[in-house]
């Protein structure tokens, strides 16, 4: 078989922090050993893309191609890749699974030491990019970069899925929905009859809510500053909504009153370390567990009175809901195909690739849950 060559295709390129993306021609290198090149079919916009795009913390990592919640089709495979064939349908993942490192074999963690969250805008294997414009490197995001007709990912950063899975909906399982469900089921392991408080009712928060409901939680309290989010939240299992702006007292006091001293579990799905503190204060002494999922824009330090921990509360974080992508994601896909978990209701907009900036604006303005971008429309 002839070796794959460079592909020239359209990608949405960010030239600077917060600057509107420009759809233009990029060169995509062939996959290196252990890598695959993927024809992206659909990609949804996650808050993490927006946060990183707005951030001025890494000015050197532009031009850059964002996007990490995606479905696609394998176009070519690099040397040594036996797991995939051209034409396989895949989901990309921003935390990979090499299957061999200490974490991958541990059974306790999805923090793969080889293919963990990539922060430098390059590929894991050689610290280089696979994209360029007129010879100038274009940086990756989370080693996925799905805002492009074609992208290259490590074979450990993708998961094969059934061709029966609808590409325009299943992409949400590549990050946000899986992160929320995993936080509730795998990290917190919510038990029947328990009380749950969720801060942030976006896609991640609502995925926690549906997972809590499926576990038989007795109360699911949702906190959001944007009241437009409440109707959908109720459809996803939230039993009571609170707008902190409407309260005469701190929201944690309200939650404590509603739950006889604090919720069994609280979840931070906003991306604000001040909210992490409120979530910790909202759970109960003795066994209260706060799971933080959000990626903060500013102020990365969390502050908490030590007495909250002495009194038995736990603060825990998770990426991708603690799921190991290759080992765990296929069963979540099956649950979706068997209609045991909902995904479709989280998609509020379907947009063509040329309207990608509209998706960014909708998310910045709090007017969407997930916008799915159809790359070939
Ligand atoms: N840990 C992971 O693996 C993982 C995966 C996906 C997303 N994330 C992060 O999770 C967070 C949520 O993602 P999303 O895609 O659902 O985002 P989103 O923007 O759709 O939802 C966030 C919600 O929080 C609300 N909000 C904002 N400030 C608030 C406040 N002070 N109090 C209460 N609510 C407030 C917003 O109105 C919005 O409804 C983001 O920080 C994102 O980066 C983490
Ligand atoms: Zn994400
Ligand atoms: Zn590993």
Using the predicted structure, report yes or no on whether residue 179 has a pLDDT greater than 80. Answer: yes
Looking at the structure, do residues 12 and 128 belong to the same domain, yes or no?
Answer: yes
Model confidence at 207: pLDDT above 90:
yes
Is the residue at 42 inside a domain? yes
In a shared domain, residues 223 and 164 = no
What's the pLDDT at 79?
96
Asked whether residue 195 falls in the same domain as residue 121, the answer is no
Give the per-residue pLDDT at 214: 98
| CATH code, 298 | 3.40.50.720
How far, in Å, is the centroid of ligand 2 from the Cα of 30? Answer: 26
The answer to whether 225 and 255 have CB atoms below 8 angstroms apart is no
Q: Which ligand is nearest to the CA of 99?
A: 3
Query: Could you report the per-residue pLDDT of 111-122, keeping only the tens digit for each?
Result: 999 999 999 999
Query: Is residue 335 included in any domain, yes or no?
Result: no
What integer is the mean pLDDT of 23-36? 98
SS3 annotation, 51-75 = HHHHCCCCHHHCCECCCCEEEEEEE
**126 prior amide bond cis, ω within 30:** no
Determine the structural domain holding residue 303 and report its residue range.
Answer: 180-318
The residue-averaged pLDDT of 283-308 equals 96
- Please give the share of the chain, as a percent, with pLDDT higher than 90: 98
Are 196 and 271 in the same domain?
Answer: yes
Q: Are 199 and 249 in a shared domain?
A: yes
Answer yes or no: is pLDDT of 285 > 90: yes
Distance 114 CA to ligand 3 centre (A): 5
Residue 285 sits in the same domain as residue 247:
yes
- In this structure, is residue 18 part of a structural domain? yes
User: Distance between CA atoms of 268 and 293, rounded to whole angstroms?
Assistant: 6
Closest ligand to residue 50's CA: 1
What integer is the mean pLDDT of 21-48? 98
Whether residue 75 lies inside any domain: the answer is yes
Assigned domain for 328 exists = no
309-336 burial, b at 16+ Cβ within 10 Å, e below that, comes to eeeebebeebbbbbbbbbebbeebbebb
Task: From the CA of 226, give the closest atom in ligand 1.
Answer: 37
Residue in this structure with the two tokens 């709090």, named with its chain if needed: 366
Q: Residue 105: pLDDT band by 50, 70, 90 thresholds?
A: very high
Q: How far is ligand 3, taken at its centre, from the CA of residue 110, in Å? A: 8
pLDDT bracket for residue 3 (50, 70, 90): confident
State pLDDT tens for residues 48-77.
999 999 999 988 999 999 999 999 999 999
Q: At residue 170, what are phi and psi to the nearest 5 degrees?
A: -65, -20
Average pLDDT of the residues in 6-23:
98
CATH number of the domain that residue 130 is part of: 3.90.180.10
Structure-token match 């996007």, residue found: 67
Q: In the prediction, which pLDDT does 78 show?
A: 97
The residue-averaged pLDDT of 311-324 equals: 98
pTM above 0.85, yes or no: yes
Residue 377's pLDDT is 83
Pocket of ligand 1, beta carbon within 6 A:
46-48, 51, 175-176, 179, 199-205, 223-226, 229, 244, 269-272, 275, 293-295, 318-320, 366
What is the rounded CA–CA span in Å between residue 26 and residue 111? 31
Closest approach atom of ligand 1 to CA 50: 43
Question: Are 206 and 177 spatial neighbours (Cβ–Cβ below 8 Å)?
Answer: no
Q: Summarize pLDDT for 319-361 with one digit per residue, the tens.
A: 999 999 999 999 999 999 999 999 999 999 999 999 999 999 9
What value does the mean pLDDT take over residues 247-264? 98
- pLDDT mean over 32-58: 97
CA 270–ligand 1 middle distance (angstroms): 3
Across the range 205-214, mean pLDDT stands at: 98
Number of domains composing the chain: 2
Kindly report the average pLDDT of the chain as a whole number: 97
Q: Cα(10)–Cα(260) distance, rounded to whole angstroms?
A: 55
The percent helix, strand, coil of the chain (3-state, each to 5) is 30, 25, 45
Which of ligand 1's atoms lies nearest the C-alpha of 295? 41
Ligand 1 centroid to Cα of residue 337, in Å, is 26
Provide the pLDDT for residue 1: 58
Are 138 and 85 in the same domain? yes
Give the pLDDT mean for 284-296: 97
């Amino acid at each position: 078989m002839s070796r794959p060559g460079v592909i020239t295709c359209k990608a949405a390129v960010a030239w600077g922090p917060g600057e509107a993306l420009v759809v233009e021609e990029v060169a995509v290198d062939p996959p290196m050993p252990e890598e695959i090149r993927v024809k992206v079919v659909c990609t949804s916009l996650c808050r993490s893309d927006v946060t990183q795009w707005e951030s001025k913390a890494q000015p050197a990592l532009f031009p850059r191609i964002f996007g990490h919640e995606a479905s696609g089709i394998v176009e070519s495979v690099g040397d040594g890749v036996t797991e995939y064939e051209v034409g396989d349908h895949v989901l990309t993942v921003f935390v990979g699974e090499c299957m061999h490192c200490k974490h991958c074999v541990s059974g306790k963690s999805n923090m793969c030491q080889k293919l963990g969250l990539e922060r430098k805008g390059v590929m894991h294997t050689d610290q280089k990019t696979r994209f360029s414009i007129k010879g100038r490197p274009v940086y990756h995001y989370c080693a996925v970069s799905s805002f492009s007709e074609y992208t290259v990912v490590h074979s450990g950063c993708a998961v094969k899925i059934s061709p029966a899975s609808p590409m325009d909906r299943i992409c949400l399982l590549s990050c946000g929905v899986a992160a929320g469900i995993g936080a509730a089921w795998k990290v917190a392991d919510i038990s029947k009859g328990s009380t749950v408080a969720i801060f942030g009712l976006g896609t991640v928060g609502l995925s926690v809510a549906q997972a809590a409901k499926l576990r038989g939680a007795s109360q699911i309290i949702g906190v959001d500053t944007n009241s437009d989010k409440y109707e959908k939240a109720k459809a996803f299992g939230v039993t009571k909504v609170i707008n902190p702006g409407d309260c005469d007292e701190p929201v944690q006091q309200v939650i404590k009153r509603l739950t006889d001293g604090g919720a069994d579990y609280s979840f931070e799905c906003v991306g604000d370390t001040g909210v992490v503190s409120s979530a910790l204060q909202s759970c109960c002494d003795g066994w209260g567990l706060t799971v933080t999922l959000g990626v903060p824009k500013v102020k990365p330090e969390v502050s908490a009175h030590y007495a909250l921990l002495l009194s038995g509360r736990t603060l825990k974080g998770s990426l991708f809901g603690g799921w190991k992508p290759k080992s765990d994601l296929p069963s979540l896909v099956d649950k979706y195909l068997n209609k045991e978990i909902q995904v479709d209701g989280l998609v509020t907009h379907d947009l063509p690739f040329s309207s990608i900036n509209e998706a960014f604006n909708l998310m910045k303005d709090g007017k969407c849950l997930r916008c799915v971008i159809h790359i070939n429309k």
